């Protein structure tokens, strides 16, 4: 996270001080580094440079138009999982020919909209979806480019809520049924089989489950070719983990490519990648202000103005986020063990539990690190809290890429009887 570092005694995003930013836009605020975003994207683009490939950023990790537009302009494609994300991706300027549509429950309207937009590929997850897509495409007089998402049944060794490649998960077509499903797909007039797809989970910290999964897909592609089903695209999904704790060392883009490339190169396919977290996760922080301190005798609490509605990952996944004071001088204060909690009326509303932090005082600014992915994207209005402002920093300038919600925004669409 070298794009977030102390300069002139304040924590900065690139050249912008988070203290002056908080004074300008208020807290809580999501702050993103454009340089970090582009680095995340280019890391993949470079690592896969010697095979035909498209890095399709997984929109659900952070769907802000400022983030999407930055990646679209850099040349990325988009991996979407809903009609809403299709709308956003097109609005942000992704070429339809670089958009792939994943997800286990696409509605007929969503399929139709994506066919109309002429996207690159549909990652189909069930026979029911395949038949629906075929029917809609024939009605429209087009052929839908299709990959089947197969479930390779490997253990991604991650949190159960974000493990997707085990045979007990709802995702993909069971590996044992894949050949039969491809045979049906190849017989349909409304679809054109172009690829095979996997996505085994998120926050993967080892490459071996990915290697196993890709090996299984490669074997499948070879069998399909023997049966004259020509697969020319392999989508390896997303899921590469990021460093949340200082002592973690997840695989780099290079490590990831080194494991996958030999197999993919031999197949001679176009490679699609669907990274989300590893592009945007460490490109963002959640900036918050300490409201109160509280010592119950048994426990010390630091009550801040950000809450689980802004960042649900600690409550939902037991996730760890580093917390840093914005004022560098605070680092010298004696350490104490605290819970960092928000104002929401739930005991699950915490950003950190039993955390050793340098003592911080009321009014201090704190940065919740590594919050760029699945932070603002999963934010809600619980407790009728307006969603936070989002800011994209570029060098010594910043742009508000989403204004803070107003109370009027929150009740728009509702009716008093």
Ligand X SMILES: *Cc1c(COP(=O)(O)O)cnc(C)c1O
User: How many residues make contact with ligand X (CB under 6 A)?
Assistant: 17
Near ligand X in 129-158, by CB under 6 A: none
Near ligand X in 94-123, by CB under 6 A: 102
Compose the 44-83 pattern: x for residues touching ligand X by CB under 6 A, - for all others.
--------------x-xx-----------------x-x--
* Interface stretch with ligand X, choices 24-32, 108-116, 273-281, 317-325 (CB under 6 A): 273-281
In the bound state with ligand X, the residue whose beta carbon lies nearer, of 272 and 287, is: 272
CA angle, residues 369, 340, 334, in degrees to nearest 5: 90
- Residue 85 engages ligand X in binding (rule: CB under 6 A): no
- In whole angstroms, the minimum distance from the beta carbon of 158 to ligand X comes to 9
- In whole angstroms, the minimum distance from the beta carbon of 85 to ligand X comes to 11
- Residue 209 engages ligand X in binding (rule: CB under 6 A): no
* Interface stretch with ligand X, choices 10-18, 231-239, 256-264, 409-417 (CB under 6 A): 231-239
- In whole angstroms, the minimum distance from the beta carbon of 235 to ligand X comes to 8
Q: How far apart are the first and last CA of the chain?
A: 50
Compose the 165-204 pattern: x for residues touching ligand X by CB under 6 A, - for all others.
----------------------------------x--x--
In the bound state with ligand X, the residue whose beta carbon lies nearer, of 27 and 158, is: 158
Q: Are 262 and 256 in contact (CB under 8 A)?
A: no
Q: Which residues does 328 contact at the CB level (< 8 Å), separation at least 6?
A: 6, 9, 10, 11
Q: Which residues pair with 5 in a beta bridge?
A: 12
* Interface stretch with ligand X, choices 125-133, 232-240, 260-268, 340-348 (CB under 6 A): 232-240
Catalytic-role residue among 12, 13, 56, 345: 345
In the bound state with ligand X, the residue whose beta carbon lies nearer, of 200 and 351, is: 200
13 included as an active-site residue: no
- In whole angstroms, the minimum distance from the beta carbon of 172 to ligand X comes to 9
In the bound state with ligand X, the residue whose beta carbon lies nearer, of 27 and 102, is: 102
Compose the 320-359 pattern: x for residues touching ligand X by CB under 6 A, - for all others.
----------------------------------------
Give the torsion sign (CA, 255, 257, 258, 259): positive
- Which of 28, 209, 239, 284: binder of ligand X (CB under 6 A)? 239
CA 103 to each of CA 17, 60, 122, 139: distance values in angstroms, whole numbers, following the listed order: 39, 11, 9, 22
Near ligand X in 363-392, by CB under 6 A: 373
Q: Are 219 and 202 in contact (CB under 8 A)?
A: no
- Which of 145, 209, 237, 314: binder of ligand X (CB under 6 A)? 237
- Residue 278 engages ligand X in binding (rule: CB under 6 A): yes
- Residue 277 engages ligand X in binding (rule: CB under 6 A): yes
- In whole angstroms, the minimum distance from the beta carbon of 154 to ligand X comes to 15
- In whole angstroms, the minimum distance from the beta carbon of 360 to ligand X comes to 31
- Which of 125, 134, 153, 274: binder of ligand X (CB under 6 A)? 274
Active site residues: 345
Footprint on this chain of ligand X (rule: CB under 6 A): 58, 60-61, 79, 81, 102, 199, 202, 237-239, 274-278, 373
């Amino acid at each position: 996270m070298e794009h977030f570092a102390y300069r002139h005694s304040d924590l900065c995003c690139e050249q912008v001080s988070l203290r002056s930013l908080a004074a300008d836009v208020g807290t809580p605020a999501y702050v993103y580094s454009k340089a970090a975003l582009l680095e995340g994207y280019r890391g993949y683009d470079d690592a896969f440079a010697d095979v035909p490939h498209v890095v399709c950023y997984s929109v659900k990790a952070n769907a802000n138009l400022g983030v999407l537009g930055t990646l679209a302009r850099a040349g990325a494609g988009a991996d979407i999982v809903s009609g809403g994300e299709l709308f956003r991706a097109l609005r942000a300027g992704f070429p339809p020919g670089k958009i792939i549509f994943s997800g286990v429950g696409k509605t007929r309207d969503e399929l139709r909209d994506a066919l109309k937009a002429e996207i690159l590929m549909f990652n189909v997850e069930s026979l029911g979806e395949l038949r629906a897509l075929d029917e809609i495409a024939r009605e429209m007089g087009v052929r839908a480019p299709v990959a089947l998402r197969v479930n390779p049944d490997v253990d991604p060794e991650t949190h159960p809520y974000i493990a997707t490649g085990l045979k007990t998960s709802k995702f993909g077509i069971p590996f044992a049924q894949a050949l039969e499903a491809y045979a049906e797909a190849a017989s349909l007039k409304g679809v054109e089989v172009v690829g095979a797809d996997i996505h085994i989970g998120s926050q993967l910290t080892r490459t071996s489950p990915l290697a196993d999964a890709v090996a299984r897909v490669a074997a499948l592609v070879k069998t399909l070719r023997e049966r004259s089903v020509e697969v020319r695209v392999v989508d390896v999904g997303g899921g590469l983990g990021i460093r949340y704790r200082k002592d973690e060392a997840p695989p780099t883009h290079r490590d990831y490519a080194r494991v996958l490339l030999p197999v993919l190169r031999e197949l001679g396919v176009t490679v699609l990648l669907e990274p989300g977290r590893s592009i945007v996760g460490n490109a963002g922080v959640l900036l918050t202000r300490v409201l109160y301190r509280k010592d119950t005798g048994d426990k010390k609490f630091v009550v801040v103005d950000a809450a689980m509605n802004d960042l649900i990952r600690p409550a939902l996944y037991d996730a760890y986020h580093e917390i840093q004071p914005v004022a560098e001088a605070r680092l010298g204060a004696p350490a104490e063990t605290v819970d960092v909690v928000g104002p929401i009326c739930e005991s699950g509303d915490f950003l950190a539990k039993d955390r050793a932090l340098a003592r911080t005082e009321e009014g201090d600014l704190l940065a919740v690190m590594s919050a760029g992915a699945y932070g603002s994207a999963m934010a809600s209005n619980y407790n009728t809290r307006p969603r936070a402002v989002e800011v994209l920093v570029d060098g010594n300038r910043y742009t508000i890429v989403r204004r803070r919600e107003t109370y009027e925004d929150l009740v728009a669409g509702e009716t008093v009887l």
